[in-house]
Chains A and B, each alone.
Chain A
Amino acid sequence: MPKLKKILLIEPDKLLGDILLCAFKEAGFDLTYATNAQDGVSLADEIMPDLVILELQLISHSGIEFMYEFRSYPDWENTPLIIYSSVPPAEFNLSQDCMLEKLNVSKYLYKPSTSITELIRASRELLNSANIKQSKKSHAGA
């Protein structure tokens, strides 16, 4: 049986976290969630996620702070990361370059208008393309 892909969700609202947990499990992913940035970093260290889904509005440390911390570790430099937030993406128009290049954000999905199905589809696509990149790298290495 193939190993389930590990997803780390950082979602401050417990109810939404529970709903996404249920939907992603059903879709065949191994999702774990944290409700704040600090727990998110500890969990990432524990489970070594294949993908991170992140809300930007968190208590104390924001999602942006989490990303700076997360990307500072070589192991997680290229881990696909989806922002799934209630903050409209238009608010980041001026800092888009920083988001895409420095923080290596794979996708920005606006929470109110993105359904669970769309989020699962986006996650699957990113995991597949990460897989392809990985296998190309290992072929080149061989």
Chain B
Amino acid sequence: MNNNVLLPLGPKLSQQLLLSVAEQIKLPLIQISRQAELGSMGLSSDFSQIRTIAENGLKLLDSYSLGLQLANMHSYELAPEAVSVSSVLYEADQQLRALARLYNVNIKLNISGRYEPVMAHRQGLQSAIIGLASALIEALPSQTKDEQTTLQLATHRCRYGIVAGVYANVPNLSNDTLKRGRKLYGVSRQPLVNVSHTSAAGIFVADAIFRAMNLKLHVSRHHRLYGLGVVLQPSTQLAMV
């Protein structure tokens, strides 16, 4: 086993990320514990809800490990492949449906544009998108008076490449907020205080994954919605074919 597994992210950063994940993972554990207590009080305990909550917590832990693994790889080991962003978003949508239903969030998939494949680490991209979306799903009901809110998983073209991102009605999300959050995560309990009531670890784990892939998470806007996205480069290899 490699003893230096945490070093490429920097010891301080990986410790911050760990603290952020530890703080975040409290929420699903409390939810499961309270659901179980409802059952023991003779009230109906929703087992499918417990399962969804547990699976979401496990996904965050998996993404965290993946982020550390990717950060430890040399660029030649990353083995990016030609990936269809639409298929990654479709898969993420399928994995997020159950969680979104619990929070009364409607997920909309906006992958109608026909874009060329991009060069990326498929698993990393998918984990990061799921992390971003989960963090927003948990925070959305607290930000709006609407009974049901919408989260959009979208891909679109920008002048720098093809964007893959998650978008919702979160006007408090700005580049400054994200910049401040990057300095505060692992130190503050709520690094994105205007966006999430939790440590928003999903967002910072995604940020670490993107960084390991030499990509940068940005705040972006799409169809009058605010969100977080990453710009990906089209695969020139396939364009030649």
Q: Which residues of A contact B (CB under 8 A)?
A: 12-16, 19-20, 22-23, 26, 35-36, 39, 55, 57-60, 62, 86-87, 111-112, 115-117
Which of chain B's residues 22-49 have a Cβ closer than 8 Å to chain A? Answer: 26-27, 29-31, 33-35, 37-38, 41, 43, 49
Is there an interface contact between A16 and B143, defined as CB atoms closer than 8 Å?
A: no
> What B residues does A22 contact at CB under 8 A?
38, 43
Task: Give Cα distance in the complex from A130 to B202, angstroms.
Answer: 42
Q: A115 — nearest CB in chain B belongs to which residue?
A: B37
Task: Give Cα distance in the complex from A131 to B139, angstroms.
Answer: 37
Contacts A15-B53, A26-B43, A57-B198; is A35 near B141 (CB within 8 Å)?
A: yes
Task: Give Cα distance in the complex from A90 to B53, angstroms.
Answer: 28
Which of chain B's residues 189-208 have a Cβ closer than 8 Å to chain A? Answer: 189-190, 193-198
A68 nearest CB across to chain B (Å): 17
In the assembled complex, B102 has its CB within 8 A of some CB on chain A: yes
A78 nearest CB across to chain B (Å): 28
A-B contact count (CB 8 A): 76
Is there an interface contact between A16 and B31, defined as CB atoms closer than 8 Å?
A: yes
Task: Give Cα distance in the complex from A112 to B37, angstroms.
Answer: 13
Is there an interface contact between B142 and A26, defined as CB atoms closer than 8 Å?
A: no
22 A-B Cβ contacts within 8 A? A12-B142, A13-B138, A14-B103, A14-B141, A14-B142, A15-B53, A16-B34, A19-B38, A22-B43, A23-B43, A26-B41, A55-B197, A59-B139, A59-B193, A59-B195, A59-B197, A86-B30, A87-B189, A112-B26, A112-B29, A115-B37, A117-B37
Partner of A60, one of B31, B34, B172: B172
Contacts A15-B103, A36-B142, A58-B142; is A116 near B197 (CB within 8 Å)?
A: no
Highest count of chain B CB atoms <10 Å: which of A19, A26, A117: A19
In the assembled complex, B104 has its CB within 8 A of some CB on chain A: yes
A73 nearest CB across to chain B (Å): 22
A28 nearest CB across to chain B (Å): 13
A54 nearest CB across to chain B (Å): 12
Is there an interface contact between B197 and A57, defined as CB atoms closer than 8 Å?
A: yes
> What B residues does A86 contact at CB under 8 A?
26-27, 30, 189
> What B residues does A26 contact at CB under 8 A?
41, 43
A114 nearest CB across to chain B (Å): 10
> What A residues does B41 contact at CB under 8 A?
23, 26, 116-117
> What A residues does B142 contact at CB under 8 A?
12-14, 35-36, 58-59
Q: A23-B43, A57-B197 are in contact. List 4 more A-B contacts (CB 8 A).
A: A13-B138, A13-B197, A58-B197, A59-B142
Is there an interface contact between A19 and B139, defined as CB atoms closer than 8 Å?
A: no
Highest count of chain B CB atoms <10 Å: which of A13, A15, A35, A36: A15
Is there an interface contact between A12 and B103, defined as CB atoms closer than 8 Å?
A: no
Is there an interface contact between A15 and B193, defined as CB atoms closer than 8 Å?
A: no
A25 nearest CB across to chain B (Å): 9
Task: Give Cα distance in the complex from A22 to B46, angstroms.
Answer: 12
In the assembled complex, B223 has its CB within 8 A of some CB on chain A: no
Is there an interface contact between B30 and A60, defined as CB atoms closer than 8 Å?
A: no
